[in-house]
Chain A
Amino acid sequence: MNYPVWQLDAFGGGLWIILIAVFHVYIAHFAVGGGLFIAVMETRVQRLGLTPLKDYLRRYAKFFLVFTMVVGGLTGVGIWFSASITAPGATSVLIHTFVLGWATEWTFFLAEIVTLLVYMRSFEAQRSTRRLILAWLYFVFAFGSLATVQGFISYMLTPGDWLTTQRFWDGFFNPTYWPGLAFRTCVCAILAGIFGLLTAQGVEDADQRKRLTRFCALWTILPLPLAGLSGWWHIAVLPPAQKALALGGNPENAWGMQVFLWAGPVVLAGAALACVRLPRLGARVVAVVALAASFMFLGSFEYMREAGRRPFLVTGYIYSNGIRVSQVEAANRDGVLATARFSRVKTITPENRMQAGEELYFLECSSCHSLGGIMLDIKPRSAKYTAFGMESLLTGLGKVGRYMPPFVGTQEEKKALAAWLTEGLHGPAKPVAVTIPQLPDPPAPAFNDSSEYVLTVAADRGINMLADADGRWTLGVGPQNLTAQLIKRDPSPMLVTADIQVTYAVENGPSGNMRPGDKAFTAENIRATPYAKDGAFNPYPLVTVQAFDKDGKLLAQTSAVLPVSTELGCRNCHGGSWSHAVAGIAPDTARDVLKAHDRLSGTTLLASREPVNCRSCHATGGDGPMSLSASMHGLHAVYLAGRGAEACNTCHPTDPAGATRAFRDPHNAAGLDCTSCHGALEDHALSLLAGEAARNSASAKMLMALIPPRDVPKPQPRSPWINEPKCVSCHVDYGAPQSGQSFGPWSNGASDLFKNKRDDVGAMVCASCHGSAHAVYPANNPYGANRDNLQPLQYQKSAKALGGGKQCGVCHAMDMDTPAHHPGMGLE
């Protein structure tokens, strides 16, 4: 934010520094190892009298000089150039913190150049002892250079105590300094040996060539185990989070470790093969392969080191995008654009929103991402998102996955960036046109004063999500349950079950018998579908329930809706379109969900041939992973934080503009929303996670650390589907609501749930008189105003709770004056 950003598209994302650094790092290690090789060879030539090898040594040194000084030296300068224009903030920290270290390194560099030039010139003279001294001096200077630069490089990965003391030596001799130096020293020797293998093939004398080849092979082979050990040491001293990243914990960089583990043995094999009596051409080929493998060996190490440092340039101090940790608070408060010196937009307006988004992209993303280039191209990565999904991703950035830095800035800036990354890059969003048909009311079965029975029925869930997901996975919540009660009308009505058969038949769906139980009949796992035969979407198919006596005589009949919706908003963040115009999880979306799970949890669900049942792992109360509810809400709360009911509507079919609009009861009309009872998503998730944390779930604790509570400082733990909000939290003593918030006091077990709970006389289930949860009478169904109120309209001609408005006669066949079921029935 302190500096302008070099705005690049396809060539952005740190491409230049990588291109230069890849070569420099390799050559720089070769410069040290090659220096040692020359010194040792010089010693051998002089002490052992291997005079014929003097010419070889001269050629090697000549190549070494040109290669290391021209390409090595200048790419070293190039790293400075590229770093200062692509990461000026971090470069400034490195320079200012270690300027005297850099100056020391420059001294070594100068001495290297002078020594090498003088050494080359000394071949013309006869003073061999002096040449020997020069060779060793060169190595000393080169190693000094490596040992100095290692301090700066390792500091970036593990600054250690420097973060608090800001002292030069604390930063220099940081936790990974020695293991890194040990590893690099080994690599230097390996590279020198490999270059020796290659150049040795130029020696004409066959005997000398073979002996030299074997010597170089030993140079290559012997340091390899030490390189492995020091590499292990290097990883061992890393903090756990960095260790996980360095070991490939993030799928983005997992291949680095794979390459590293493969390249080492290939180098070893190449060197070992070179010892065998190979023809000259064969030896050359082997040397070239080993050379390439050594390039991959060192390259992958550097890659993993860089990966371990994510999302920082200097761990804990400055993020990959150049934003310092110390700047985050102010930037979140005042805005990145207002804080950044080189931003044209300071205040976001509807007119400049896209321009602001683009500026934010360059400020926060372009250091790692390119636009259409080879470096983490942002275009395909953003293609699947809606602006809303992107905004959610930005909210959770750097929290669950530590690979990327967090988004820094205000909510407004986040929205602007999300809009540019989606609509700005991929064109305006195409809104899905939702047209909801008005379905005709079914004919109401006859009911009058002479009717003997009242039959009630309600779906267990007034909002019910069916994850079709292209058959790839299932949440296991789609099948519905029905609860029916048959009341024999009388001043003292009876709930009858004996010798009664109750059947159900879902419109265009399954049918069957209901199972008698305690004063009620139930049917479970009814697999309804919202797709009609003509393909139309209807999330409220009717279910007709009939009660027969033992002789098959129809005693009563009624209807209700059996909510089932596939309008699960996974696509809002996981991409894809609706599979059925206005609902349904499309194959792309389904795959992306599994892909995300694999990436975050290290699973291989995407490759699974069988449909994945989420609850097979995420069982409630099991010993394995968290319950599905805790996992889903816990994870997604990280991304959807900061929102109200919009967060709920993102996934659930309750979007007021969606095709289901499942929140249909009077609470909606009264201005309440999901959060009124269930809490804001963060609190809702925290209550579930707290329940899991009580079972000592590490994942729950990890997620809890990422979710700040919203309205309740410490949400009380609960179990999903068991501990739910209670009506009486607001409707104290069943009276008029005393507040608009019922989050917190949970239902005390399954029997206390609205769908199961009985009245004060232990007779009627709440839902029998009031309708299903989320659709209590008088509900307003978008597919037909009366569709959710069929029973009260059938029995009492008004869409109130059964018996409401002093219509006790529905069951009692007479007026009553005592609210026996519960207080507040309007009789007081």
Chain B
Amino acid sequence: MDPAALIPIPDAIPVSWWWFQAFLLLTFFLHLVAMNAMLGTAFIGLVSHLRGTNDRASCTEAISSNLPFTIAFAVNFGVAPLLFVQVLYGHLIYTSSILMAVFWLAVVGLLIIAYGLAYVYKDLYPRLGDARLAVIGLATLLLLAIAFIFTNNISLMQKPIAWDRYFDQPRGLLLALDDPMLLPRYLHFMVSSVAVGGLAIALFFHWRQRGGDRNAGAWVASGCRWFSYATMANFAVGFWFLATLPKGMLTTTIPGLLLLATLVGGIALSVPAIGLGLAGRALPALWCTLGTIGLMVLARSLLRTVLLAPWFSPAQLPVNPSSAPLLFFLLVLLAGVTLIGWMVRFTLRSCANQEDRP
């Protein structure tokens, strides 16, 4: 069956697709940072409990107190790119979501449970004792499962050639398991989560250290080690991922060449980040890492462009021009961000003042 015959007809968008592409990249970047911090810290917390020594308590306690907070932002920052991906690729992602509907819908339940467990982990941390391992372990497993489902959906969405499997399995039980890119892609995200999680821990204790916490230094170093080693491991996974891409893809088209360039840029930035991490310099490592993440988000978008090139490009979307709502959104966003900035600033100050107190 011709896969093109299966691709639904998309609806019109109100302004040029570039707006949405820009919003998508920006908000996905934010989501990725928050999601990596969430999953990575949860994973490190789990490993810490598995190691089982009491001297790790301050780290896991810090993770417990911040995990619901990071989930909240990972979810919120996930909503926006999901919105924009629906605008640009809705006809594709709706289809892939239906093909794997059971798993896709399960995300909601799994996330509610994971979120709830995060609050249990936080609010009952002192009382949980040995049960902490089970609570954070289950939460981490659920978050890993959710990530696996998301990776499957995006893989399936980008592969209309696999959609005819629906005719044999219309009950929403399909996954993209036969996609050679799936596993390295998933692991690439997960290992990078561990790296960013480590960096988040390092930064948390970095600020604690600046606030006068004399024990924080060890955790800065520990977090940095997690970051650097995980990033190194991710090189291997990344090259595995690269090897699974369709042959010649990176060198035969302009988006392919751009993808190659962003990958090289990302790798180039991550090398010093590893070094900075090994040196325990969390803040400079953060800037390099944010740069790497930014380039990887771009690379991911270019990869999608290349993979979907035979079938679809957002530039093909019809436009039903309507610019007033865009202006309204930008005004509300500006006002919102300003107020959020004000709130974050005085909260950080308040935290600093508390730290300053004897």
Interface string of A120-132 (1 = CB under 8 A from B): 0110110100100
| Residues on the B chain within 8 Å of A121, using CB | 347, 350
The docked-state distance in angstroms from the alpha carbon of A828 to that of B116 is 101
With A70-B112, A81-B107, A81-B108 as given contacts, are A110 and B340 in contact (CB-CB < 8 Å)? yes
Residue pair A118, B170 in contact (C-beta under 8 Å): no
Residue pair A85, B79 in contact (C-beta under 8 Å): no
The docked-state distance in angstroms from the alpha carbon of A124 to that of B20 is 40
B101 CB-CB contact with A under 8 Å: yes
Say which residue of B9, B20, B166, B340 sits within 8 Å of A4 (CB atoms).
Answer: B166
Chain A stretch 48-106: residues in CB contact (< 8 A) with chain B: 66, 69-71, 73-75, 77-78, 80-82, 84-85, 88, 91-93, 95-104, 106
The docked-state distance in angstroms from the alpha carbon of A137 to that of B170 is 47
| Residues on the B chain within 8 Å of A85, using CB | 94, 97-98, 101, 104-105, 172
With A117-B72, A125-B350 as given contacts, are A5 and B170 in contact (CB-CB < 8 Å)? yes
Residue pair A7, B322 in contact (C-beta under 8 Å): no
Interface string of B103-120 (1 = CB under 8 A from A): 011011001100110010
| Residues on the A chain within 8 Å of B333, using CB | 103-104, 107
Say which residue of B8, B86, B107, B350 sits within 8 Å of A2 (CB atoms).
Answer: B8
Say which residue of B79, B90, B325, B339 sits within 8 Å of A92 (CB atoms).
Answer: B90
| Residues on the A chain within 8 Å of B101, using CB | 6, 85
With A107-B336, A109-B76 as given contacts, are A74 and B108 in contact (CB-CB < 8 Å)? yes
Residue pair A74, B112 in contact (C-beta under 8 Å): yes
Main SS of chain B's interface residues?
Answer: helix
| Residues on the B chain within 8 Å of A107, using CB | 329, 332-333, 336
| Residues on the A chain within 8 Å of B80, using CB | 103, 106
Q: How far is the CB of B153 from chain A (nearest CB, A)?
A: 10
Interface string of B49-78 (1 = CB under 8 A from A): 000000000000000000001001101111
**Residue of B14, B20, B69, B167 with most chain A CB atoms under a 10 A cut-off:** B14
| Residues on the A chain within 8 Å of B22, using CB | none
The docked-state distance in angstroms from the alpha carbon of A2 to that of B72 is 34
The docked-state distance in angstroms from the alpha carbon of A168 to that of B324 is 9
Residue pair B350, A95 in contact (C-beta under 8 Å): no
Q: Which A residue's beta carbon lies closest to that of B320? A: A166
**Residue of A74, A77, A82, A168 with most chain B CB atoms under a 10 A cut-off:** A74
Residue pair A100, B336 in contact (C-beta under 8 Å): no
The docked-state distance in angstroms from the alpha carbon of A82 to that of B13 is 22
**Residue of B13, B116, B350 with most chain A CB atoms under a 10 A cut-off:** B350
Say which residue of B329, B339, B350 sits within 8 Å of A103 (CB atoms).
Answer: B329
With A6-B171, A115-B343 as given contacts, are A104 and B11 in contact (CB-CB < 8 Å)? no
| Residues on the B chain within 8 Å of A277, using CB | none
The docked-state distance in angstroms from the alpha carbon of A8 to that of B326 is 39
| Residues on the B chain within 8 Å of A95, using CB | 11, 83, 86-87, 90
| Residues on the A chain within 8 Å of B99, using CB | 4
Categorize the interface residue count of chain A. 35 or more
Residue pair A78, B108 in contact (C-beta under 8 Å): yes
**Residue of A85, A111, A121 with most chain B CB atoms under a 10 A cut-off:** A85
B147 CB-CB contact with A under 8 Å: no
B268 CB-CB contact with A under 8 Å: no
B315 CB-CB contact with A under 8 Å: no
| Residues on the B chain within 8 Å of A388, using CB | none
A643 CB-CB contact with B under 8 Å: no
Residue pair B328, A3 in contact (C-beta under 8 Å): no
Residue pair B72, A4 in contact (C-beta under 8 Å): no
Residue pair A104, B329 in contact (C-beta under 8 Å): yes
The docked-state distance in angstroms from the alpha carbon of A92 to that of B79 is 16
Q: Which B residue's beta carbon lies closest to that of A95? A: B86
B145 CB-CB contact with A under 8 Å: no
The docked-state distance in angstroms from the alpha carbon of A101 to that of B322 is 12
The docked-state distance in angstroms from the alpha carbon of A330 to that of B90 is 24
Q: Which B residue's beta carbon lies closest to that of A344? A: B167
Residue pair B8, A69 in contact (C-beta under 8 Å): no
With A3-B95, A118-B343 as given contacts, are A108 and B332 in contact (CB-CB < 8 Å)? yes
With A92-B90, A96-B11, A341-B5 as given contacts, are A104 and B108 in contact (CB-CB < 8 Å)? no
Q: Which A residue's beta carbon lies closest to that of B87? A: A99
Q: How far is the CB of B108 from chain A (nearest CB, A)?
A: 4
B12 CB-CB contact with A under 8 Å: yes
A816 CB-CB contact with B under 8 Å: no
A342 CB-CB contact with B under 8 Å: yes
| Residues on the A chain within 8 Å of B115, using CB | 70, 74
Residue pair A93, B343 in contact (C-beta under 8 Å): no
Offer 11 A-B interface pairs, CB within 8 angstroms, sorted by A: A2-B91, A3-B94, A69-B72, A70-B115, A71-B112, A81-B97, A81-B105, A84-B94, A104-B325, A144-B332, A168-B322
Ordered nearest first, which 8 A-B pairs have the shortest CB separation? A78-B108, A100-B325, A96-B11, A88-B94, A2-B8, A6-B101, A7-B170, A107-B336
**Which residues from chain B sit less than 8 Å from chain A, CB to CB?**
5-15, 20, 23, 69, 72-73, 75-80, 82-84, 86-87, 90-91, 93-95, 97-99, 101, 104-105, 107-108, 111-112, 115-116, 119, 163, 166-167, 170-172, 320, 322, 324-326, 328-329, 332-333, 336, 339-340, 343-344, 346-347, 350, 354
With contacts A84-B86, A103-B84, A117-B69 known, what are 8 further pairs, Cβ within 8 A? A6-B170, A77-B75, A77-B108, A85-B105, A91-B90, A103-B333, A117-B72, A127-B350
**Which residues from chain A sit less than 8 Å from chain B, CB to CB?**
2-8, 16, 20, 66, 69-71, 73-75, 77-78, 80-82, 84-85, 88, 91-93, 95-104, 106-111, 113-115, 117-118, 121-122, 124-125, 127, 130, 134, 137, 141, 144, 166-169, 341-342, 344, 362
